[in-house]
Structure 1
């Protein structure tokens, strides 16, 4: 293993250099308390990281009555206290905050995700303009560097969404645009409309992507599939920001893997074969499987992948740091990529 510093990569074909590992702040201010959040953020900066990701809806589901925004507020306080806003490549998202209803929380306090998905705010022009203004106020800044449509909205005409986003860029409130949880055919349609009307096109797509491949037959708009990977390989002006790159850390723990809900999208013979290859390579490089998977992401060049990590504790963050120094040779990468049923 070599020195553990976070490198930079180009975001799409923008010329913008961003951290090769992005830090997700979803749980900051809720599951991760303020002191622990600040420790993680400071340590990330110490290692050279600057790409921080949040959303206006984080984390409404954590407590009854919440309207989200806790993560953005915490980041705003941290940037103000550190005086480092100009050093941060700041990403946030809009469109996925559900309409308020007491029914969003069940009797035991658990969120009702079915109701939430039916009542997402969506990507209407006025909705996004108001959402961004709220995000900017909570973040304590006059602009964000990257603004995503969080959940693709098929009920709003794309022209309305894209024209509104173009206005936000023109107003200086947003530097770059992105899309998340989106099908490949929709990405292509978005890009064609941007080309036709000379609107700024997305430069990043944030999708769920990890070493395991989704199980055969699974329909899932948020997980990168073969078609989307091929599309991103051919269209290098779109960078892939990969969320859940280590699937909540399940690679290190077979018992946790067996019971974790995220594995429902991956379990099967293909995953078993890839886990076996991962175990072999991890042993060879002296790293944990979680660390090796993160290193595998960092070795991707066609397309370039920026893994988005979301440690809940400072200890979880430190457990991932050695991945920055893991070197996988061509043979090991080929074995990892070729593994499968």
Structure 2
């Protein structure tokens, strides 16, 4: 598996990252550990999780599950040093009481979001210590502010994050679900105070166009892409790049709850082109979209493949071996 450098740090990770969001919930532990074993055998190094994954999978879950599964895998295999491990804080739900409505299999998302733990200094310190305990490790390679918290003074958040690096508990910093102007302020404030500057950005990104006028801080827009091209010392890690596998399945796409985020008229032609070129290249549409992300050079980016089943994992991991010819990339990029 090819590698890419994070910013200009000299730190290289596998281009394709394994998203562990569903480990221990909708992905049972045996399957999760099988994925981890195979991912490392295939040359993968970058594994991504968070301290809230994934409470929304059902009322019986707390958000501890993914990190706990990873911790047990590290203990079983002794392969902690072979993994570039990323986790996150700030989006854990402080209190899940009442979040699951009676008789509903869907949580109250608005209520849950109002209870994000936030990015205060003591909150993040407690969050990191909890993550390290569950992961059965004394450090992580990359630590994100999971959801940008504008209610906490930025200096407070950045100073405590810097202290994690000084203490050796974190190697690099990142930010997620954040607008371009805010990311610039985060990085400029850190630099001005001599604190560790974030070098990773985790946002949703895919081949389809965003819905026109969409007000959404978590999906890459043109301004953010322009910022990344001008600042190659920060790298984009794209999550949900295949829109939960719906490039392969028109029926799944039609019922995808994210449809409203990518409801641009041009996207019908873009989806059709993905299917056409996938047939020419000899891969699935999902694999083609992943390979397109991995082939980007301006800016460079990685794809995080978050999967539920072994079959999904097997399909997505093969995208790392898909080489898109120059003319295919040109046709994808030329499509309005």
Structure 1 length as normaliser, TM-score?
0.96
CA contact (8 A) 1:56 1:92 kept: yes
User: 1:186 is matched with which residue: 176, 182, 186?
Assistant: 182
Within 5 Å, give how 1:71-90 maps onto structure 2: 71-90=66-85
Shift of 1:110: 2.5
- For 2:56, the equivalent position in structure 1 comes to 61
Count of paired positions? 335
User: 1:257 is matched with which residue: 253, 256, 273?
Assistant: 253
CA contact (8 A) 1:105 1:111 kept: yes
Evaluate the alpha carbon distance shift between residue 101 and residue 44 of structure 1 in structure 2; reply closer, same or farther with a 3 A threshold. closer
Matched residue of 2:217: which SS? coil
Within 5 Å, give how 1:23-34 maps onto structure 2: 23-34=18-29
Within 5 Å, give how 1:30-179 maps onto structure 2: 30-64=25-59, 66-107=61-102, 108-179=104-175
- For 2:193, the equivalent position in structure 1 comes to 197
Matched residue of 2:171: which SS? strand
Matched residue of 1:145: which SS? strand
286-295 vs 260-269, greater mean Cα deviation: 260-269
Shift of 1:101: 4.0
- In 2, the alpha carbon distance for the partners of 1:65 and 1:249 equals 26
Q: Does 1:207 align with 2:195?
A: no
Matched residue of 1:312: which SS? coil
Shift of 1:287: 1.1
Matched residue of 1:250: which SS? coil
- For 1:218, the equivalent position in structure 2 comes to 214
Structure 2 length as normaliser, TM-score?
0.97
Shift of 1:50: 1.1
Matched residue of 2:303: which SS? strand
Matched residue of 2:18: which SS? strand
User: 1:15 is matched with which residue: 2, 5, 10?
Assistant: 10
- In 2, the alpha carbon distance for the partners of 1:33 and 1:67 equals 15
Matched residue of 2:247: which SS? helix
Q: CA RMSD in A?
A: 1.1
User: Which consecutive segments of 4 or more residues in structure 1 shift more than 3 A?
Assistant: none
- In 2, the alpha carbon distance for the partners of 1:201 and 1:89 equals 19
Deviation track 1:240-287 (CA, whole Å, cap 9, x = no partner) reads: 000001110000001111111112111231111211221221121111
- In 1, the alpha carbon distance for the partners of 2:177 and 2:207 equals 18
Runs of 5+ unmatched residues, structure 1: 1-5
CA contact (8 A) 1:40 1:313 kept: no
